[in-house]
Structure 1
Amino acid sequence: MKKYLTLICFAFILCASYAQENDTLLDYSMQLISQQEFEKAIPYLNTYSQNHPENLNAKLQLAFCLTQTGQLEKSITLYQHILSARPGYHRAYYMLANLYMQKSQLEKALTFSNKALELKNNQPDYLLVKAQIFRRQGDIKEACRYYKKAKRKGSSEAKYSLDKYCK
C-alpha cells in the first residue's frame, strides 16, 4: 500500500511539474511577444501548441508571430486550421484578409474581408482592410466608401487615408 501511495504521489508531482512547465512555456512566449521578440517566441509556442492542441489562443499567438517574421504561408495554414476548429472566429478571417493582401492575392483577401465583416460588421479594422483592398484593386470610389465607414467607427488610420485618397 505504501508503494502505491508513493507511486501515486510521484505521478501527481510529475504531472504537476509537466503542467507548470507548459504554463511557463506559454507565459515566457507571451513575454517575448510583448518585447517584440517574435522569432524567439515561435519555438516555445510550437512546443506549447503541440502539447495543447486544443488551445486556440496559443495557435493564434503562433500565427501572429509567424506573420511578424514574414512566414506568411505558415501563418495562413495555421489561421485556416484555427477556422476549421472555430468557424465563427472573425479575427482569423480578418488576419487572412491581411495576409492575402500582403501577398497581392486581392480576390482572396476580399473574400476573407467580407467574411470577417459578415460576422462583425462594425469593426473599424475590418472596414479599413476592405478599403485598403479596394484601393489596391484600383477601385478608389469603393475604397473611399469603406474608409468613411471605418472613420465613423473610430479608425484614425482611415481618417489619414481618406485625406490622402478621397479628395
Structure 2
Amino acid sequence: MRITKRTNIAMRVLMYCAAHQTRLVTKHEIARVCNASENHLAQVIHQLALMGVLETHRGRNGGLELAQDPKDTKIGDIFRSMEARPSQIECFADVDNSCPLVHACRLKEALHAAAEAFYHELDDLTLDALVCGNTKLLNILAPEPCGV
C-alpha cells in the first residue's frame, strides 16, 4: 500500500514532537531534520492542529507541541484522517465512474476490506511505541534523552 506524502510528513512531525516533548519545536527545525519543505509542513501542521493532535503557538517564541500524550495518539486515527479517501480506484468514485462492472463486481468490497485491515493494524500502534525507546530514531531526531 502506498501512503500519501501528507501522511508521511505528518508522521515525521509527530515523531519529532514526541522526541522533543520538553519544549516547543519549530517548523524550520523539523524541515531541516526530517527533509521536508516548510510549505508542505505548514499545511500538514495546520491539519494536525485541526485534528487536535498538535497545539501551535504563534509569535516570536512560538512553535508547536503535541496536544496529548503520545500514548494516547493512535496511528490508525492519524492515517484515517490524513489519507485521502475513498481510494483512487474508479469504482469507489461517485462521479466519473465509467466502469460497466460496478454493480456486479466484488472487487470493490474486497479492496474496502483490505483497506480497513490496513488501518486496523495501525489502530493499536501509538506514537509512544514508535518513538520512546527507539534509539536509532532518537539519535536522528533528538540526540538528548527521550522526553516521552
Q: TM-score per shorter chain, which class?
A: under 0.3
TM-score (norm 2): 0.21
Q: Which has the larger radius of gyration?
A: 1
Decide which structure has greater helix share.
1
TM-score (norm 1): 0.20
Decide which structure has greater strand share.
2
Q: Which has the higher contact order (CA 8 A, sep 6+)?
A: 2
